[in-house]
């Protein structure tokens, strides 16, 4: 987790929802029901100038590239950051201290492997969402390409989802409550904020099985998030 999500709000909607402006680096994109690593997506950051702090909507590439990295290939391994170690890991600690972001999503996908002896070995995809969507905790970085151009990249924070609420997957993204937007986006160390974020696990979100067409990145459209019958293909029922 988290390897795919859905995002449909346009720039104007995001600006209203987050009381933000559309930044210089924002590019309007079509709704995407199969957002995958390496794609470009809207994120919320805090910018500072002579007038003070303000929230901005910008567009970034999913898969964080640390500023010190010599190779962009590292991004494929850094689409998620584990909250338990984010403050210590060299790839994330600088961004966690100074460059935190919010990733607006409608919902996200997860894959469940049944442990039932008679269940098929294929994994069943699920869609997890809640009314109004989710505002996932993230990090962002600027990386200078060999040609001198700068690339904006991001990663999503995850936490343990073990126990009854982790029945679909053992990891889950972290949601930022609205009253913590300013604290989370502020460019200063605040490790204690991790304890105030909300794991986006069943109970906080609803989860339902969806078509395995989501497995292929080339597939897109609202039908990918539509529910299948409540009983999964494996025979397990997810509450």
Q: Which residues are catalytic?
A: 2, 110
Count of beta carbons in the 10 Å neighbourhood of residue 116: 9
For residue 33, the number of C-alpha atoms closer than 13 Å in the C-beta half-sphere is 14
Strands 124-144 and 150-160: antiparallel
Tens-of-pLDDT digits for all 239 residues of the chain?
Answer: 579 999 999 999 999 999 999 999 999 999 999 999 999 999 999 998 778 889 999 999 999 999 999 889 999 999 999 999 999 999 999 999 999 999 999 999 999 876 556 566 788 999 999 999 999 999 999 999 888 899 999 999 999 986 555 568 789 999 999 999 999 999 998 889 999 999 999 889 999 999 999 999 999 999 999 998 655 444 444 43
Report domain extents, the chain.
5-110+129-203
Beta strands in the chain (DSSP E): 5-7, 21-22, 32-35, 40-49, 52-62, 80-82, 100-112, 124-144, 150-160, 171-175, 198-199, 206-209
Specify the pTM: 0.90
Pick the CATH number of 5-110+129-203 from 3.40.50.300, 2.60.260.20, 3.90.1680.10, 3.40.50.1820: 3.90.1680.10
Q: Residue 45 pairs with which residues in a beta bridge?
A: 56
Distance CA 7, CA 36 (A): 11
């Amino acid at each position: 987790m988290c390897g795919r999500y859905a995002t449909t709000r346009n720039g104007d909607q995001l600006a209203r929802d987050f009381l933000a402006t559309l930044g210089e680096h924002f590019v309007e994109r079509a709704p995407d029901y199969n957002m995958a690593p390496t794609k470009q997506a809207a994120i919320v950051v805090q910018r500072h100038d002579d007038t003070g702090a303000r929230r901005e909507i910008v567009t970034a590439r999913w898969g964080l590239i640390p500023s010190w990295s010599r190779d962009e290939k590292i991004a494929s391994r850094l689409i998620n950051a584990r909250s338990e170690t984010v403050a210590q890991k060299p790839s994330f600690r600088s961004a966690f201290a100074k460059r935190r972001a919010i990733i607006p999503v409608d919902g996200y996908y997860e894959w469940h492997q049944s442990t039932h002896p008679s269940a098929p070995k294929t994994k069943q995809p699920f869609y997890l969402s809640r009314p109004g969507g989710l505002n996932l905790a993230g990090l962002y970085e600027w990386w200078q390409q060999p040609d001198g151009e700068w690339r904006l990249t991001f990663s999503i924070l995850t936490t343990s989802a073990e126990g009854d609420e982790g029945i679909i997957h053992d990891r889950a993204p972290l949601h930022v409550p609205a009253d913590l937007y300013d604290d989370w986006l502020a460019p200063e160390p605040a490790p204690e904020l991790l304890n105030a974020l909300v794991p986006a696990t069943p109970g906080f979100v609803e989860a339902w099985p969806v078509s395995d067409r989501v497995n292929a990145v080339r597939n897109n459209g609202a039908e990918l998030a539509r529910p299948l019958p409540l009983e999964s293909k494996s025979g397990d029922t997810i509450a």
